[in-house]
Amino acid sequence: MKKNNIIRTIKRFEARSMHGQLPVIWKTANMDIVTDINNKKYIDFTSGICVTNAGHSNPEICRALFEEVTGGLMHSYTFYNKPRADFLEHLIKNTPDFIEKAFLVSSGTEATECALKLMKLYGRETRKDIIMSFNGAMHGRTLGSEFLKGKERWIGTWFPEIIHLPFPDSKDKFYPDVEWWLVSNIPYRKICGIMIETYQGWSARFYPKKYIQDLVMWCRKHKILVCFDEIQGGMGRTGKLFNYMHYDVEPDLICVGKGFSSSLPLAGVLGKKWILDGPETGSMSSTHSANPLCCAVGLANFKEIQRILPSVSAKGKLLHKELKKIFPNFEINGKGLLAGIITPTEEYATKVCYKAMKKGLLLIKTGLNSIKIAPPLCITKENLLKGLNILKESK
């Protein structure tokens, strides 16, 4: 089937909300290179939108998947299986000490919903019912996740138990004092938890470090649970295993997804035992949660991220150094192998993405006045520089 026929077929039979990315029909992908159905190769600066952190078709992940697929077990619901035990043990033993247990699910937005439920259960016990989040955040596409955004007009009836804070841009030196603003503007004695995206998804803007530190300290003072959304920023993307580490704070919970497997649908909520064990036995589960295929892949991926992670900071410094040369008058955000280029208009950003695509580079088209860059963490220095040269030619 030819390219135009494939696109036409998908648009005919699939909901249009799924569409909008660059018109490249992927055939194969290997580490940092994507090949389309016409065998044209592209340097990938997307990681499938921050998913394939360990690289497309990473050999170790493929080996683990093949062994599990051919081993005779592909699904077990919540019945026990060995890959689940192996993955959970390695995960908990190789993450920060506050992570004592995990709840595994299939997608980032499902992890968000589970974190909301855990915070609300805590709130029920403490007679608190409000959750805070930030305007403009991206936590997923299910209804609870959409409520956290604070900007969707289509929702209609608003959810009164979610309060949205203004995003304090790290480049703004005059953001309000955290405690003063919170005490002055919200019923803080009724807050049970806060969900914090570790950077603003569309722009890669970080919070001011002191702001987050003051906010977490204030939450501790008022016994408010702190959950960081690491779905995009985690698993080595910004040069640390989890992005919250850049703020030198410790949360109660984190949500993970995307790069948590670098391939199959796998996500989760990680955190303190007393919170994760809050729901009664059998009251919080998921049909495909912790299935053996995803757990085998999750373990292989985690080990690969551990191996690759030491090289991310150096490549990230090179990426940001070159971007500042290419776009000297644009705002460049991000850390490690994550960058957000703020452009004058959405049209300009889209134009650059299409030009780069034609020259053999895939960028993340956000649909806003920004271009995001998030290559696989295993990208070679040669391909990183080649991709940046294409970007320079496409601006």
User: ∠ CA(178), CA(183), CA(186), 5° rounding?
Assistant: 105
Contact present, 276 and 249 (Cβ < 8 Å): no
Mode of pairing for the β-strands spanning 26-30 and 339-342: unpaired
- Helix ranges restricted to H, 41-107: 47-50, 59-69, 82-93
Q: Which fold has domain 61-308?
A: Aspartate Aminotransferase; domain 2 (3.40.640)
Compute the distance between CA of residue 53 and CA of residue 232 in angstroms, rounded to an integer. 10
- Residue 245's contacts (CB-CB under 8 Å, 6 or more residues apart) are none
Least confident of 44-58, 66-80, 169-183, 350-364: 169-183
User: Would you place residue 372 in the very low, low, confident or very high pLDDT band (cuts 50, 70, 90)?
Assistant: very high
Mode of pairing for the β-strands spanning 364-365 and 370-373: antiparallel
Q: Which two tokens stand for residue 359?
A: 């020259």
Q: What is the pLDDT of residue 158?
A: 61
Q: What is the pLDDT of residue 166?
A: 84
Least confident of 80-84, 160-164, 296-300, 305-309: 160-164
User: Would you place residue 240 in the very low, low, confident or very high pLDDT band (cuts 50, 70, 90)?
Assistant: very high
Q: What is the pLDDT of residue 171?
A: 60
Spell out the domain ranges in the chain: 3-58+310-394, 61-308
Compute the distance between CA of residue 48 and CA of residue 26 in angstroms, rounded to an integer. 11
User: Would you place residue 184 in the very low, low, confident or very high pLDDT band (cuts 50, 70, 90)?
Assistant: confident
Handedness of CA 20, 25, 28, 32 (dihedral sign): negative
Using the predicted structure, report yes or no on whether residue 25 has a pLDDT greater than 80.
yes
Nearest Cα neighbor of 378 from 41, 32, 57, 60 is 32
Q: According to CATH, what is the number of the domain 3-58+310-394? A: 3.90.1150.10
Contact present, 214 and 240 (Cβ < 8 Å): no
- As beta bridge partners, residue 105 has 267
What are 248-283's pLDDT values in tens digits?
Answer: 999 999 999 999 999 999 999 999 999 999 999 988
Compute the distance between CA of residue 233 and CA of residue 256 in angstroms, rounded to an integer. 9
Q: What is the pLDDT of residue 144?
A: 84
Residue 261 exposed, middle or buried by CB count within 10 Å (0-12, 13-18, 19+)? buried
User: Would you place residue 395 in the very low, low, confident or very high pLDDT band (cuts 50, 70, 90)?
Assistant: very high
Q: What is the pLDDT of residue 93?
A: 99
Least confident of 116-120, 187-191, 251-255: 187-191
Q: Which two tokens stand for residue 211?
A: 């702001």
